[in-house]
Structure 1
Amino acid sequence: MLKNYKVLKGTASALALDDDNDPHIEIRIEANGVSYRIALNVRSKESPHDLLYANIVDFKHGTLTEALEALPMGLTDIRKDHPELAIDYVRGGLIEREDMNVAPFQLSGPKNDLRDFIEPIVQEGIADTDVHFYAFGEAWGPENNKPDEYFHFEPGNGIHDIHMNQGDGGSFKATNAPNQDGALLVHFNNTNEWAAIFLCFQSQSWNTNAATGHPVSDSSGGQGRGEGTRRPQPVVASSLRIIAALINPVNGAGGVEAETVTLINRSDISVSLDGWKLEDDNGRTQTLSGTIAAGELRTIALDAAAGGPQLANKGGDIILRNREDAVADRVGYGKSETANEGWTTIF
């Protein structure tokens, strides 16, 4: 777990690059007369070295962005003062694995590396103090009598680990936890537009334990979506997502459990469900029908009596297949998410 999960709000005043084996984009931030440095990872120490990233230029999330605007300049302790601001890539709905692309740190040519996506936003912020930066991650400092390594202000302090902070199985496993992922959000006050940069290492699993943030093994299940769940088939781009399931319902008449799976159509057009299927991790399927409108939620009752999917309380996977039989979404859950009978699990 991160020790000091915080968000830093301020304006950009300088940009630097380190050029070692663990490169970062370094950004100097000013807030109420205090200088900070935010260090953005742009290359992984572990193979594969290129990062996953999403650069969302028209980011919209009213609840989060409104709360950020209300924060004072400087550091805010998320766990202590504003737990509602915590970011979780796996469960939070801000970003999904299939929305991220692989990009090297720097490569010749336009718009093909992390520098091309990140540095123009920083340069715009340096030129305009109405652009506010919000860096989520681990805070360090103040380091009294120790000038900052790159910008030489004193005392040195800032934010790092501005990336996904769960799903690590190697030397960084000790910092895993849910609800503590890093990100860089940028608010252009003059136009009231937002941009968001999400970063992740390819070695991190997106199927993580809801209590610890550790990767979940094939034998124990876990809560999450994307790579790392039991079935290795790739997830295709899709407007439909699994967002919830009633896995351990209260027994009904005759001891029958009324398990359900809830879908959302996140697109702006209606989608036909004809030919789509829900599947459990034992290959039992249920064919869907009808139409789901733009933005609509649809709760589907599972028909185990007809050989449909059955959701095991010990943990498992739920798979959504499109009419071409490709995997459109896949979520995993563990025993801890089914402990409360009658409660719905949110993905």
Structure 2
Amino acid sequence: MPVDDYGVWKGFPVHYEVEDRYEDPKSPHLSLYYHDNYETEPQFDLKFRQKHKNKPPNKNRPMEIPGLFRAAINIKSIDRDSRLAYWVNYNLSDHPMVQNLAKLDLGFHDLEELKDQGLDYIRSGLFDAKKGRLLRHDIDGPNNDMIDVLVPEVKESIHKNAEIYVFGSRFNTRNGVHNVHMNQGNIKRFRNDDGTFQDGGLLIHYKETDQWTGIFLAFASQAVHTDREGHAIPPLTWGQFLPTELIENSVAIKEAVVKKGKSVTLTNLTNHRVSLASWKLHNSAGEAQELPGNAVLNPMSTGGFEVPKLHLSSNGDIITLVNEAGLKVDGVSYNSQQGNMEGRPIVFAH
């Protein structure tokens, strides 16, 4: 069953508020306030809105601002893995859907008005899935959490008076939108919300330059692959697919033989010698095999390593390479068809 009242709201952003770790450590949002009227831009008390910053939630401060609509954008998951997957595409102008969006009037448009052209992270070709980032909500350091990457995009849209297109589910009160994230491939608890071509997202149109920027969010627990009803096809999730705590792009998993004579072929992508002593290969169950103590790869070279003690399922699995400090260096996955190729290696594209 799809999410309720799905569609896109076209408007103009005028203000945002973001909940940090102090204001809401459990289920924080970035609230993007907007209007959809060419004639009048509503006024509001900005000083009142800002005086509660960096303090626990204040029940006396309403989330809504009279005269404005609100897009409630999740910046943390309530799942055990609280990270979000984040993609931004600054070159969405060439996507065929944006020309139809530009013709829409201001206001909310449901899926019927969109002629079933909702967003679909898997099927719409909106971004390069491999170029996403896994991000936590609010941690120390620059450019390393959801607040760091999302706020600048929102600020820019306000500063340049851009048009925004917020895809998601309209509030029951009709004064805003939520579910501004992937709405398929959910864990069992939210399976009833699954559906194709009903994903949320934020598209920004800078009319002066005709640039379209797309911002797309998913929960780390959501599946990378879904069936025609939007239900998860296990086992791969965004949390497993995307690099996190990824160190230097030094060594890649090039090939693997998962049946008889199990082995993994690694390639050194750097111009220096890399020692693989104490490096390990993991499967999706967390089982590991350590590489030989004398394992080494010369600059830009490739080497094969037998892994007889590492169980690799013929039904599909994930192979993760970690260094001596336990940090992920590379990760690949394969399906059951590839896992049943007798004697032939599975080749992974990078």
**1:177, 1:214 within 8 Å by CA — same for their partners in 2?**
yes
Distance in 2 separating the partners of 1:164 and 1:200: 5
Q: Do structure 1's residue 40 and structure 2's residue 73 form an aligned pair? A: yes
**What is the deviation of 1:94?**
1.5
Q: Do structure 1's residue 59 and structure 2's residue 92 form an aligned pair? A: yes
2:9 aligned partner: 8
* 1:241-256 pair list within 5 angstroms: none
Distance in 1 separating the partners of 2:115 and 2:86: 25
Give the aligned residue type for 2:317.
Answer: P
Which among 166, 171, 179 is matched to residue 140 of structure 1?
A: 171
Q: Do structure 1's residue 188 and structure 2's residue 209 form an aligned pair? A: no
2:109 aligned partner: 76
2:64 aligned partner: none
1:124 aligned partner: 156
1:23 aligned partner: 28
Deviations 1:73-108 (A, max 9, x none): 111112x11134211112222235422111112222
2:233 aligned partner: 216
**What is the deviation of 1:58?**
2.9
Q: Do structure 1's residue 105 and structure 2's residue 113 form an aligned pair? A: no
**What is the deviation of 1:285?**
7.5
**2:88, 2:127 within 8 Å by CA — same for their partners in 1?**
no
Deviations 1:165-203 (A, max 9, x none): 011123211111111111111111111111111111111
1:93 aligned partner: 125
Q: Against the structure 1 CA distance between its residues 286 and 96, is the aligned structure 2 distance closer, same or farther, given a 3 Å change threshold?
A: farther
> Identity across aligned pairs (percent)?
27
Larger radius of gyration: 2
Q: Secondary structure of 2:139's match?
A: coil
Instruction: Answer with 160-169 or 89-98: which moved more.
Output: 89-98
Distance in 1 separating the partners of 2:146 and 2:15: 18
Deviations 1:120-157 (A, max 9, x none): 2222222232x1111111111436xxxxxxxxxxxxx1
**What is the deviation of 1:217?**
5.3
**What is the deviation of 1:161?**
0.6
2:247 aligned partner: none
Distance in 2 separating the partners of 1:175 and 1:190: 37
2:219 aligned partner: 201
Deviations 1:43-81 (A, max 9, x none): 000121111111223334331111111111111112x11
Alignment TM-score, normalising by the size of structure 2: 0.59
CA RMSD between the two structures: 3.2
Instruction: Answer with 111-120 or 158-167: which moved more.
Output: 111-120
Distance in 2 separating the partners of 1:196 and 1:127: 17
**2:12, 2:163 within 8 Å by CA — same for their partners in 1?**
yes
Q: Secondary structure of 1:93's match?
A: coil
**What runs of 5+ residues in structure 2 fail to find an aligned partner?**
41-66, 236-240, 243-283, 285-313, 322-334
**1:279, 1:285 within 8 Å by CA — same for their partners in 2?**
no
Distance in 2 separating the partners of 1:140 and 1:286: 55
Higher strand share: 1
**2:185, 2:191 within 8 Å by CA — same for their partners in 1?**
yes
**What runs of 5+ residues in structure 1 fail to find an aligned partner?**
144-156, 219-225, 237-277, 288-320, 330-347
